[in-house]
Amino acid sequence: MDNIPGEWVVAYHGLGCNQPSDFVTPLPGRVFNMGLKAGGRQLHENCPDYFHPGRKVGKGVYITPLIKVAEQYAGISIIGGKKYKTVIMVRVKPNARRHCHECEESKKYKYWVVNGISDEIRPYRILYKKVK
């Protein structure tokens, strides 16, 4: 959080967009036990990587430094009969981020991709936002 060299970057990952609540609700615990996994939609997989010139973005977990963006992809968890959007706060190993800067949507919303999931991204906080 001090922007010093070697510091792991803070980012967010929305859990379970368009999934039934019985799928999303147990996800945070599973993420902390098993880690994050790359989804089926890999929109920027073949884009040039802004952070690593000469390489492609590749497959991986999509994250963002913007919590409002992650919230758009968050599914609904039901806890104690109340509904919450669920976002996981993560830390990303320095130089592990990939980014398609050629895509206008990615420039605007700062979609990042992390390829080496198990040792390059660490979930460390579950964030809930109450919804009506």
Instruction: Write the DSSP string, the chain.
Output: ----TTPPEEEEEE-BTT--HHHHTTHHHHHHHH-----S--TTTTSBPSSSTTSB--S-EEEBS-HHHHHHTB-EEEETTEEEEEEEEEEE-TT-EE---SSHHHHHHT-EEESSHHHHEEEEEEEEEEE-
pTM, 2 dp: 0.76
Which tens digit of pLDDT belongs to each residue from 63-99? Answer: 888 999 999 888 887 777 888 888 889 888 878 888 7
Residue 28 lies in a domain: yes
Residue 123: domain span: 9-131
Average pLDDT of the residues in 23-29: 53
The answer to whether residue 4 sits within a structural domain is no
Domain membership flag for residue 62: yes
Asked whether residue 59 is domain-assigned, the answer is yes
**Number of domains the chain is built from:** 1
As a whole number, mean pLDDT of residues 96-119 equals 72
Q: Which residue type is seen at 49?
A: D
Residue 1 lies in a domain: no
Beta bridge partners, 77, equal 84
**8-20 residue pLDDT tens:** 989 998 876 555 5
Judge whether 3 lies within some domain.
no
Q: Is residue 2 part of a domain?
A: no
